[in-house]
Amino acid sequence: MNIYAHRGNSGFFPENTMYAFKKSLDLDICGIELDVQKTKDGILVVHHDETLGRVFDGKGYIKKLTFDQLVDSNLNNDELISRDDCKIPTLEEVLELIKPTNLTINIEIKNNKVRYKGIEEDIINLVKNHNMEERVLISSFNYRSLKRIFRLDPTIKTAYLVGAFTFKHKSLKKVLKRCKECNCTYIHPSYDVVNKELVTEAHKKGISVQVYTVNSITIMKKLIKLKVDGVFTNYPKIINTIVNENL
Ligand code: G3P
C-alpha cells in the first residue's frame, strides 16, 4: 500500500510548508503530496489555494503577486509564525529536500481554477534539472494538463484526479478512457467515489488506484478490503499502523 503524506505531514504541521515536509522524512511512507501554483514572475511555489488568506496572511491571487511579495506572507498561526521553514516554499526547495531520500513526490498541478500558461513545461524542466524524473508523479483534475505532460514527456508518470463532480457528467468508462488517452499510470479518486467497480475496472486497464484524502480509520479499512493501491492522508503514521494491522 502506497501511503503519501498529504500536503506534508499536514495533520500535525502547517500544510505545504518545509516544516511539514521535513516532518514527513522519517515516516515509513512511499511519498509526499504537494500542490503547485505559479507567481507573477514565473516562480513555481507550493501552495494549495490559488489565493492567500486561509493558511497564510494577506490576500489576492498568487498569479498576481511576485515571489518577493509572497515570501512576506506569514502563517496564520501565531505559535509558528517566526519559523523560517513556515513560509510558502518554492517547488525547487522541496525537490532539493526530498532528493537524497527514497520518497516519491506527487506534484499536483493546480491548473483547474487558474490556467497557468506553461506550468506543465516549467515543472518538467525543473524536475529534469534536478534529475528527478523517476522520483515524481504529476497529478491534476485538469485532464488537458495531463495530456500536455504526455506530449512533453511520455515517460513522466501521471495521475488523473477525480471526485464526485467528475462522475456527475461522466461515466466510469469515459473517465478511464481519459486516463488511457493521457497515458496515466494512476487514477486518484476521492474516497467517497471509490467502489469495487472502480477498482476492478481500473485494474483491468492496468491503472493503479490511489485515493485521497483518507483521514478516517473506518474508511481506510474499507479501502484495504477494496484492494486500492495507495492513499493520501494527513495522518500517515496512524494510517500506516492500520495498514500493518489489516493487510
Ligand atoms: O492530490 C490529492 C488531493 O490533494 C486532491 O485534493 O483538494 O487536496 O487538492 P485537494
Residues of the chain with pLDDT > 90, as a percent, come to 95
Q: What is the mean pLDDT of residues 206-220?
A: 97
State how far the Cα of 208 lies from the Cα of 122, in Å rounded to an integer: 26
Residues of the chain with pLDDT > 70, as a percent, come to 100
> Which structural domain, as residue segments, surrounds residue 129?
2-246
Q: What are phi and psi of 229, to 5 degrees?
A: -95, -20
Count of domains in the chain?
A: 1
Non-local (6+) Cβ contacts of 159 within 8 A are: 106, 137, 138, 139, 184, 185, 186, 187, 188, 210
Q: What is the mean pLDDT of the chain?
A: 96
State how far the Cα of 162 lies from the Cα of 198, in Å rounded to an integer: 12
Buried b / exposed e across 26-36, counting CB within 10 Å, b at 16+? Answer: eeebbbbbbbb
Catalytically active residues are 6, 48
| Å from CA of 231 to ligand 1 middle | 11
Residue with cell 483521514: 215
State how far the Cα of 175 lies from the Cα of 162, in Å rounded to an integer: 8
pLDDT band for position 112 (50/70/90)? Answer: confident
Taking only Cα atoms into account, the Rg of the chain, rounded to an integer number of angstroms, comes to: 17
Please give the pLDDT value at position 120: 98
In this structure, the strands spanning 157-162 and 104-109 are unpaired
123-128 contacts: CB < 8 A, separation 24 or more? 123/36, 123/44, 123/91, 124/149, 124/152, 124/153, 124/156, 126/44, 126/91, 126/92, 126/95, 127/95, 127/156
Please give the pLDDT value at position 4: 98
Please give the pLDDT value at position 246: 85
Q: What is the mean pLDDT of residues 15-44?
A: 97
Work out the burial of residue 49: count CB atoms within 10 Å of its CB; fewer than 13 is exposed, 13-18 middle, 19 or more buried.
Answer: middle
pTM of structure? 0.96
DSSP 211: E
pLDDT band for position 225 (50/70/90)? Answer: very high
Contact residues of ligand 1, CB 6 A cut-off: 6, 33, 35, 108, 139, 161, 188, 212-213, 232
Q: What is the mean pLDDT of residues 186-197?
A: 98
Closest-CA residue, ligand 1 atom 1, reads: 108
**Is residue 72 over pLDDT 90?**
no
CATH at residue 50: 3.20.20.190
Please give the pLDDT value at position 231: 98
Q: What is the mean pLDDT of residues 23-37?
A: 97
| Å from CA of 34 to ligand 1 middle | 8
Closest-CA residue, ligand 1 atom 3, reads: 212
pLDDT band for position 45 (50/70/90)? Answer: very high
Closest-CA residue, ligand 1 atom 6, reads: 212
DSSP 78: T
Q: Sign of dihedral through CA atoms 71, 77, 83, 85?
A: negative
Amino acid code (one letter) for 170: K
Strands (E), the chain: 2-6, 31-38, 44-46, 104-109, 136-140, 157-162, 186-189, 208-211, 230-233
